[in-house]
Amino acid sequence: MKLYFSNSDFLRNFDRFLDRVDLSDPDVLTIEAHPKWISVHPAVLTFAAALALRAGKNVSFGPLTAKSGSYLDRMGLFTFTNQQSPYRIAHNEEAGRFIPLTQVRGATEQSRAISDLIPLLHLPPDKTNAINYVIGELVRNVLEHACAPTGAIVAAQYYKKNNSVRLGICDGGIGVRKSMAGNWPEKTQTDLDALKWALVPGISGTTRREGGTDNNAGAGLFFIKSLAKTTRDYFMIYSGSGIYKLLLSDARKKFPPTITADPEKDRHRERNDAPGFQGTLVAIDITLDSTPAFDSLLSRVDHVYSASIHERKKQKHKEPRFI
């Protein structure tokens, strides 16, 4: 496997990052980087860490000459790659600025990761509920359904200049399609099909029951996509050969954007020919200037969620039955 860190590996141009990705030979990982400047989204680092855990000790770096490469050290990438860092930096307190690469393998580590996220939001406690909920849902989904022996890898960064948080969650599990195919074979013919079906509220890989179960409502991905749309930011999910990326909504239109239960209706980019990744990567950008919309988000999402399930059940009863 090979990765290349450039000077602009963010969600807006994630396809360009993938152009240099080679996932053949999963037992070996080589990481190379731009010689003068390295600037990557935390999700890219979680992706690299998940691949490194799969490769074990067979990880190597090309020449790291960019001073900004010290970011890789501070985010903890060399710990996951079992490599000596070429940088010598002071590890200052990260609270309120970033969450370094963190491995989450159980409920205790999940709670700690969520607690570390709160200071990054720079918001009153009552404004963080929606974000904490959706992040917790995503991590819980990995622990319960991804069958990832190494758990979930989480990382986040706060950017003061534009008052935003960028966050990534990655695992090296079985992937979305395999997780859902048992109960939804007709909806998961391709990896991209599975991603879009997983984004529909009330759809869970644990049951064919629309609306999920009492313990799993199948709404984690829908909630986080809705959060990104509410703040007019990027959201992306990558698994297998499929990628679904929510694009920026038009800021000139009335606020807040309309939340829809159908991922096809959102302005997005999709592909089903990405390098085959055995696992799942979820990434989101959240602009905190839009926090007045957060309070209304849960009630609006709940309305769309309930209406969508009701409508699909109604249509299901209308379908002709042949005996």
Residue 212's pLDDT is 41
CA distance 121 to 98: 10
Residue 251's pLDDT is 65
Residue 311's pLDDT is 64
CA distance 139 to 115: 13
DSSP state, residue 232: T
pTM of the predicted structure, to 2 decimals: 0.87
Residue 120's pLDDT is 83
Task: Give the length of the chain.
Answer: 323
First to last CA, the chain: 52
**Amino acid letter for position 172:** G
- β-bridge pairing 29-33 and 268-271: unpaired
Alpha helices by DSSP H, listed for the chain, are 14-18, 42-55, 70-74, 77-81, 107-121, 129-145, 176-181, 191-198, 220-230, 294-318
How far is residue 134 CA from its own chain's centroid? 11
* Spatial contact of 201 and 218, defined as CB atoms under 8 Å apart: yes
Beta bridge partners of 319: none
CATH tag, 95-317: 3.30.565.10
Label residue 20 exposed, middle or buried (CB < 10 Å: 0-12, 13-18, 19+): middle
Residue 316's pLDDT is 59
Domain boundaries, the chain: 95-317
DSSP state, residue 276: -
Residue 210's pLDDT is 45
pLDDT < 50: residue spans in the chain = 205-217, 305, 320-323
